[in-house]
Amino acid sequence: MNILKEKINVAIMGFGIVGSGVAQVLDMNADLVKAKVGRPVELKYILDVRDFPDSPYADKVVHDFAVIENDPDVDIVVETIGGAKIAYEFSKRALSAGKSLVTSNKELVAKHGYELLSIAKEKKVNYMFEASVGGGIPVLRPLMQCLSGNRVSEVCGILNGTTNFILTKMQREGLGFDEALKQAQALGYAEADPTADIQGHDACRKICILGTLAFGNHIYPEGISCEGITKITLDDMALAMAAGYKIKLVGRAIATEKGKVCAFVAPSLVPVSNALSTVDDVFNAITVRGNAVGEVMFYGPGAGSLPTASAVVGDVIDCAMHVEHRKGISWNDSAPERLESSDDLPFKWFVRTEKDSVPAVFAGKQPICCPDSPYNAYITDPMTAAQLTSAVGELAETAIRVFE
């Protein structure tokens, strides 16, 4: 890119919820983007298989990626296609063509971030993805820059708005999981096929990105444990609350005592005294624990068109301000030997049992109980998954980790 160019040209690939939000933000805030960058940042192309004849951007729509790839005037490509197929191919080609790339695509970053960053480095361009975790919440830059003086012991959070909405509905209104999911779908918070959200895959991709940035080696989603929220019951919630906990879907990446990293996604009992427990509805929050700062939390809208576009446009501005001086996001390739399974780490567990089938390990212990509940529950001492199985066996109806 040539610093003497009068303006910076942007192409958006994928004109869906996020892509159209990016166009809108570039438009409505054009004056301040220009003031920050020092010259105009203009939308030149929108790549999509569809046409948008009624859109104010109709004349920018192209259907052939090669138009963008081969136009030397395109400086920054925004990838909001989603998925890791065509988005992966176009991302590689855009970087290889010497264009900086900005994305909100967590699946692609989690699966191919190392390779794409390597291409970006070789081509001396930027690859930025603040929007891939926490939507509009600033978290990757603060983690990499402001907190860079810390030895991070854990990064964790409520990373998926859909499941947090469902859990909040269950907790507050006593809706069952299926009914809460239906409401989420009716409100547009959950997709017709909600698998990626409710099974924890979306949160898993995000904790992989956070863990990778915090600890330096690429963590692939298939290499870590991931459990969704489909088995959580109202009985679990009531018993947990009676003991002072809310049940949240939490992604965690922990520096272990063995010098390894343990990353996983699982429903977790969060103490009501912890700030994460106050994060309700579709909001997200990410907590970073470091040996200097203690604990800080970033909170806000984890999804949505304009909030996610806010993060994308922040990256576009940063790319536009660094056309000559690449900002060095980078990490190392995966190191599976540095990963420790969540099964091997000791946690306290919340165990729910039938009232008349109490495992011997809890004999004499005062159970957590709720009026009218046919169940008892207990919080165990810290133990591994195998130790738990050996202690409570088939007698546990549910076992959920306690977040500390």
Q: Which amino acid is at 397?
A: E
Q: Which of 206, 231, 258, 355 is catalytic?
A: 206
Nearer to a copy of itself, 196 or 316 (CB): 316
Q: Does residue 286 sit in helix, strand or coil?
A: strand
| Burial class of residue 117 in the structure, from the number of CB atoms within 10 Å of its CB (0-12 exposed, 13-18 middle, 19+ buried) | buried
Give residue 36's Cα distance to chain centre.
Answer: 28
Kind of pairing, strands 396-402 and 349-354? antiparallel
d(CA 228, CA 198): 5
Region of 59-67, 76-84, 311-319, 343-351 interacting with a copy of itself (CB under 8 A): 311-319
d(CA 209, CA 108): 10
The reply on whether position 36 binds a copy of itself by CB under 8 A is yes
Region of 58-66, 133-141, 165-173, 256-264 interacting with a copy of itself (CB under 8 A): 133-141
Q: What is the x/- site pattern for a copy of itself, positions 267-286, by CB under 8 A?
A: --------x--x--------
How many residues belong to the site for a copy of itself (CB under 8 A)? 48
Nearer to a copy of itself, 146 or 187 (CB): 146
* Single residue of 56, 63, 148, 374 touching a copy of itself by CB under 8 A: 148
Give residue 167's Cα distance to chain centre.
Answer: 17
d(CA 72, CA 57): 21
Q: Which amino acid is at 99?
A: K
* Single residue of 317, 319, 323, 388 touching a copy of itself by CB under 8 A: 317
Region of 174-182, 197-205, 294-302, 333-341 interacting with a copy of itself (CB under 8 A): 294-302
Joined tokens for residue 145: 């820059």
Nearer to a copy of itself, 37 or 198 (CB): 37
Catalytic residue flag (residue 5) = no
d(CA 138, CA 154): 17
Q: Where do we find the tokens 């056309």?
A: 323
The reply on whether position 359 binds a copy of itself by CB under 8 A is no
Instruction: Report the 10 Å Cβ neighbour count for 80.
Output: 26
List active site positions. 206
Contacts to a copy of itself by CB under 8 A: 21, 25-26, 28-29, 32-33, 36, 130, 136-138, 141-142, 145-151, 275, 278, 290-301, 304, 306-307, 309-314, 316-318, 325
